[in-house]
Amino acid sequence: MSPTITTSSEANGNVSAATARAAASAAASAEAAGPQPVTMAKALNTALADAMHADSSVLVFGEDVGMLGGVFRITDGLTATFGEQRCFDTPLAESGIVGMAVGMAINGMRPVIEMQFDAFAYPAFEQIVSHVAKMHNRTKGAVKLPMVIRIPYGGGIGGVEHHCDSSESYYAHTAGLKVYTPATVADGYRMLREAIDSDDPVVFMEPKKMYWTKDSVDLGELRRLHTEGTTAGRTSEGRAAVARPGTDATLIAYGPSVPTALAAAEAAALEGRSLEVIDVRTIVPFDDDTVCASVRKTGRAVVIAEAHGFASVSSEIVARVQERCFHYLAAPIRRVTGFDVPYPAPKLEKYYLPGVDRILDAVDDLQWEN
């Protein structure tokens, strides 16, 4: 007999851990063993399914996430596997989706909700800012909101207007929200599982142009590590990763800009320059230690992000690094970001998006002559 829907065992609930997180996943048996080529979409989908197997209070809902499996297919098969009470379509109303999730989280569930696209999360902004972010503080921790708001974000897919925004700064600016954004397939799995397990609300920003990115990943091993207790004691939260080690300058990036930064570092290596690439992973909480250790080592830094640069996560990173590493800097920190214009039409996006050349130009500007 499968577990019935019960109260979340960790937040706002009094029911004991009836839904053993360690429960072996049915999906596991169907998988080939060892590392396989896996897309980001598949990793996220597997993370959702595994979380739903592990804890019956995990619910998935949003627009077209049921029968269709989501417009990006991230929720594919969940309704068939778990029934339409655990993965279901809602009426078309983003504030309704987030607001209902708040109520469900108050009453013992762990909702994982999908905003169909970045710009279509804006109707939910009031719920996110006034309630999701503030409930824990307002109630002095009596009410936890263990919910995840998944948002496909960013450009690079030739999308039409309102489908390519980088909206992370709005959420990062809001006290009380955690903001995760994976940049590798393995992190897609790992970080989504951790976001669902978190007792704090997490805005989970999925770089949509990376949904079809493939890495060689052992999902079974990732699942085992997660089940055995948070990735060998190292959760992703607040831990940036050194995506590529280097010695001459640091490229700081997150989400969709990480592959671009890695490509730039590869190109720079051919020119004899060794660039370290830092993948921020969780914008909130931010890993000052890893980022600053790298900048102190290299003495030079460029921050890369797709979002508009003005009043953004990239400005925040520059400010933080400057405050902490001023005496180690050989040059002012540079930024390569989207221009301060509304996200452009598909034929213009190549001029807007940070690319390898623009990054290398910024690196060239880091006062190497001294």
Partner 1 sequence: MTISADHTAPHSTSTEAAENALTEAVKKFGITVEDYMLPARHQIQMVDPDGRLIPESEQGTQPGHEYPVPGDDELLAAYERLVVGRRVNDQNSALVRQGRMAVYPSSHGQEACQVAAALCLSDADWMFPTYRDAVAVMTRGVDPVQVMTIFRGDWHGGYDPLQCKVGIQCTPLTTQLLHAVGVAHAAKLRGEDTVVLAMCGDGATSEGDFHEALNFAAVFHLPVIFFVQNNKYAISVPLAHQSVAPSLAHKAVGYGMAGERVDGNDVVALLAVLDRAVKLAREGSGPLLVEANTYRMQAHTNADDDTRYRESAEVAEWRAKDPVTRMRTYLTDRGLLDDDGEVRIREKAEAVATQLRDGLSEDVAVDPQELFRHVFSAPTPQLKEQSAMLADELARDAAASSSDQEAAK
Catalytic residue set: 163
For partner 1, the closer CB: 4 or 370: 4
Reported for 307-311, long-range contacts at CB under 8 A and 24+ positions apart, including other chains, are 307/166, 307/167, 307/168, 307/169, 307/337, 307/338, 308/166, 308/337, 308/338, 308/339, 308/340, 308/341, 309/335, 309/337, 309/338, 309/339, 309/340, 310/340, 311/169
Q: Is 284 left (phi over 0), alpha (psi -120 to 50) or beta?
A: beta
Q: List the structure tokens of 261.
A: 């930064």
Contacts of 342 (CB under 8 A, 6+ apart): 161
Judging by beta carbons within 10 Å of its beta carbon (0-12, 13-18, 19+), is residue 357 exposed, middle or buried?
exposed
Q: How far apart are CA 349 and CA 212, in angstroms?
A: 19
Closer to partner 1 at the Cβ: 84 or 364?
A: 84
The answer to whether the CB of 19 falls within 8 A of the CB of 9 is yes
Structure tokens, 103: 């109520």
CA 229 to chain centre: 20
Q: State which residue, 205 or 217, has the beta carbon closest to partner 1.
A: 205
Whose Cβ is closer to partner 1: residue 197's or residue 306's?
A: 197
Looking at residue 343, its amino acid is Y
Using the minimum distance from each CB to partner 1, give the nearer residue, 7 or 250.
7
Least separation in angstroms between residue 210's CB and partner 1 is 26
Q: How far apart are CA 75 and CA 27, in angstroms?
A: 14
Using CB under 8 A as the criterion, which residues of the chain lie in contact with partner 1 when the complex forms? 1-7, 12, 26, 52-53, 56, 59, 79-86, 90-91, 93, 95-96, 98-109, 111, 123, 126-127, 130-131, 134, 136-144, 175-176, 178, 199-200, 238, 284-286, 288-289
Q: Least separation, in Å, of the C-beta of 121 and partner 1?
A: 14
What's the closest the beta carbon of residue 26 comes to partner 1, in angstroms? 7
Closest-CA residue to 153 (of 166, 135, 137, 142): 166
Closest to 253 measured CA to CA, from 192, 302, 294, 204: 302
Judged by CB, which is closer to partner 1: 27, or 331?
Answer: 27
